[in-house]
Chains A and B, each alone.
Chain A
Amino acid sequence: MKKKAGLLFVALVLVLGSLGVAYAAWTDDIDIGGSVSTGSLCWKFVQCSALDEIPPENPGGDYVGFGSPLADYGCDPGFVGTPPYWRVDKNVAWGDCEISEDGKSLTVTLYNAYPCYFNSFSFYVENCGTVPLKIDHVLVNGEDWETQTFYKAFDINDDGAADFELKYQDNFGGQIEPGPGDFEFSFWLHVLQPAPQDSALTFTIDLVAVQWNEYPLPVPEE
């Protein structure tokens, strides 16, 4: 009896052993823990200036003499000729610009402007993201999709005559690398004869940048 029980035990061990050989094998695993961190596309204004930004001491106009660095600028309609155009003999109008705290908005203002008055604004931008970007297009008053140097005359009061004109001529397709840079933009403003007196004439320009490898964006069909 004792011998029989011993044989049965041995047989069971062998059977189990043979089963183990049949359903298992040695293994070794490696685990992958993955993450995707996206970059960012960001640009902002960092500095701006106006060609004529010194207000007169006398709002009615300081006589400063022809050629004075304080004198206003004038130009012909259509920005005919070569800048910086001419200086008149008085300091009457002026301009300034201000960048919002988040750098996303630049406010430019002309004060006490009059027909023939010319001023230009320059500003610098910075790529505040991690992805190179290219300047794709601008939207003027939220509408016109411009991808090239452009000239626009604005009839703000809808009287059929343009009140002021703007020339924008910078950097479409230009690539801005992340980090501080020296990318300068500028545009010109010129007040035309039909401009109404004592008025505030407004406009907006949205500058749209796209990741460099997607430039240019397809122009939407009208």
Chain B
Amino acid sequence: MKRIGLVTLAMVLALGSLGIAYAAWTDDITIEGTVNTGNLDLNVVDYSCSAIYKNHVTDELVPWHGWCGGDPYVNNPEYLPVASAGAAQTMTDDGATPVPVDDSVTIWFDKLFPCQWLYADILLEYDGTVPAKLWADAWPVDDPDFPDCALFAEYGVDVQYYAWCWDHDPRAEIGDGAHPGIDEFGEICDVGVQLHDGDFVLVKMAVHIPQVNELMNKACRFEGRIQAIQWNEYQGGGFYPEDYDD
């Protein structure tokens, strides 16, 4: 009987010692974390076109500027189209059926002649959840099919950019008829202006050809970029990710 008691005690001690050697009580608590990021989203919502017509009957020069598609003179045989300009969403050009290219705009100024301003506007809406600052830049492109950019610069082709900002959709105010000219929207907003969700920006490009014969039948191609840059990272210029080292 005494022997059995000793054996039991030994086993208890042995098991106990095993427990001490290979385990310890632990308890876990868990942190579940989620970082939801916002976005910057600048979208083109409308385009303007402009044209200059000659009235066959009166010989009058008739400029028109309005939202693309609203030109009352197009296809009117009384009005001869002389020059035109405008903007539209870029379409693919790879031989297949063209499809729109997101966030890409094509601007054209065609058959310009001296002393007449032509315009192309882009109406942008800011849909981002993070405030942004606006930046825009344009530069001539070295293209053998459009070799005359240097000539344009030499003879002072006047290319101007303007922007106006609203905290609401301005199309009702601007109207569908004659599009106001450069100075008719009040205060111009410049690059660096802050954009918040629901803001609109009208970016206007205007081109004027001086009275120089050397500019006949010349062509220059340009590219540009309009950027929304998160407001707290704006450094007074365009944002090029490769320039940033984080």
Name A's B-contacting residues (CB within 8 A). Answer: 41-45, 58-61, 74, 77, 88, 90, 92-93, 103-116, 125, 129, 131, 133, 136, 161-164, 166, 187, 189, 191-211, 214, 217
Contacts and interface: CB of A to CB of B under 8 A. Distances in A.
Contacts, number: 167
A116 B232 contact: yes
A61 to B, nearest CB: 4
Interface in B3-40: 24-40
Nearest to A95: B35
B36 A136 contact: no
A109 B33 contact: yes
The winner among B26, B31, B38 for most chain A CB atoms within 10 A is: B31
21 contacts: A90-B231, A105-B29, A105-B32, A108-B34, A112-B129, A112-B130, A162-B246, A166-B33, A187-B31, A193-B233, A194-B246, A195-B35, A195-B37, A198-B39, A200-B35, A201-B35, A203-B34, A205-B33, A207-B30, A207-B31, A210-B26
A209 B231 CA distance: 43
B29 A192 contact: no
Interface of B: 24-40, 126, 128-131, 196-198, 230-233, 241, 244, 246
A199 B25 contact: no
B93 to A, nearest CB: 29
Contacts of B33: 107-109, 166, 189, 202-205
Contact of A61 (B26, B28, B130, B244): B130
A60 B198 contact: yes
A164 B24 contact: no
